[in-house]
Structure 1
């Protein structure tokens, strides 16, 4: 039976089950769908999963995830109605299935905490090289999506149906807005997600 805990600023949903051998933690950061912030929030979701203070490079983070029995970490963005949602997912094996006991759930939660509160940033500024790399990856992904007939037609349908409203805004933003993003003050967005 699902348990919902009302916390300060968020709701915690615990859904116990014996069906799976993995523990999935999904954090959803919801905000109003706005053309001015959608590209920033999308790029932020890419930046959050690149590293932390403790594991500043993607290679170091990957090594840590492997030491956690191949833990998966990912982020994506979606729109639901008038909401823009950043979804951070973490999937780790349930420690009950290991031959010896390790506190994996605590380490999983600690990593998610570090992603938000101790990201790969110094003096409240993200790494410039990683920022430019992720910005380029996002632009390339959107260009590739335009070659996908299904994705392209779906995006155009929403654009025309929602013309003049927030429902016509792409969940990833547009290429021109992403190219204009600058590092200055970008770290502040994390606090306003």
Structure 2
């Protein structure tokens, strides 16, 4: 799918030559071990790099120049996966072959070099006023979770079932860790990222592979580095308590339940767990949706999700507070039914079809191709839709029943109004 080459120790370039798109997409991912401090620093750093650099001191100048490059899109972001934090730069630009003057590609490479390697420094450090402004923006982003009750409930559940664990660390850090950032500490975090992070560079488009490889090597002259080893998360982090009820000014109740599974991404049974989640609550034909929401009318919404990095399954639902006990009972009944092998051929076939369709839809986008390859590249096998379709097709009712039998309840979290 992608042709991968090593540009330096710890720095890899992945190129996919395809006529599928009229644009060229880049994604440059800087990876470091995840903890609260580095997450906060790198979230603020992504904001600071987004809006100015050594060449374009003001955001308006930067955006205007991007518009001049035929609407080139460029943005920084921060995310996490497993025990790893990622600061990324995504760029999408028109392919030169569709222009009369074929200069945009080289100018975009120069801009990528500027955005990453020429920061807007004042006396060798980031500008204090810009740092304070972006700290405030990240703080507001963190605070916004409190206004979205569904996100807040999920955040609290994760804190409860996996305290002091990567699963409960936000990619933005905490408000306290953001407040502690100074221009000097942020500059140090930037230098660490440039010189020590593991780096993956992705390019997708109708391009000359050798030429692009040469140009990127020149545009991003990263030196050898030995990326820090990730600490393996242990299962010693256990729930603080098995039931928590909290009250706020709100009407609809948020019932969130956390389960654990020994199956992680890349395990032999991973495909089976994907099917389990799809039948349990992943889609509109699933047991949770059809029974908790449709049949019993207990929820405004009810679904499940499988976090394969941490071996966790979440059930989320919006309910009337008076329906809490009944909703929990019906949710548990769906899991018990699966443990007893009560899985229809239709549930199984619809889930398999949905997984294949989702994968194909993702691969219709250049960014989707990058993210899929980035996730699956460490499995030491060639990724293809056909391989995964075959794996899902081979999953039987008995396999799904076996996955259900391994699911363990971790904790229940209920957020509701003060009158409940």
Partners of 2:108 and 2:68 lie apart in 1 by 12
Q: CA deviation at 1:185?
A: 3.6
Match of 1:12 in 2: 13
The alignment partner of 1:55 has SS state of coil
Q: CA deviation at 1:117?
A: 1.3
Match of 1:147 in 2: 147
Partners of 2:155 and 2:105 lie apart in 1 by 38
Q: CA deviation at 1:90?
A: 0.9
Structure 1 residues 96 and 149: alpha-carbon distance in aligned structure 2, compared to 1, 3 A threshold:
farther
Q: CA RMSD in A?
A: 1.5
Partners of 1:83 and 1:31 lie apart in 2 by 6
Partners of 2:102 and 2:31 lie apart in 1 by 33
Larger Rg: 2
Match of 2:138 in 1: 138
Partners of 2:47 and 2:122 lie apart in 1 by 18
Q: CA offsets per residue over residues 27-70 of structure 1, 9 Å max, x none?
A: 11110001222101111111111112111110110111011011
The higher relative CO (CA closer than 8 Å, separation ≥ 6) is in 1
The alignment partner of 2:36 has SS state of coil
Match of 1:102 in 2: 102
Match of 2:42 in 1: 41
Give the number of aligned pairs.
192
Partners of 2:20 and 2:152 lie apart in 1 by 37
The alignment partner of 1:18 has SS state of coil
Q: Are the counterparts in 2 of residues 50 and 120 from structure 1 also a CA contact under 8 Å?
A: no
Moved more, 181-190 or 17-26: 181-190
The alignment partner of 1:7 has SS state of strand
TM-score by length of 1: 0.92
Q: CA offsets per residue over residues 144-163 of structure 1, 9 Å max, x none?
A: 23212332233223322321
* Runs (5+) with no aligned partner, structure 1: none
The alignment partner of 1:171 has SS state of coil
Q: CA deviation at 1:124?
A: 1.9
TM-score by length of 2: 0.44
Partners of 1:168 and 1:65 lie apart in 2 by 36
Moved more, 69-78 or 24-33: 69-78
The list of structure 1 runs, each at least 4 consecutive aligned residues, that deviate by more than 3 angstroms after superposition, is none
Q: CA deviation at 1:139?
A: 0.9
Structure 1 residues 55 and 147: alpha-carbon distance in aligned structure 2, compared to 1, 3 A threshold:
same
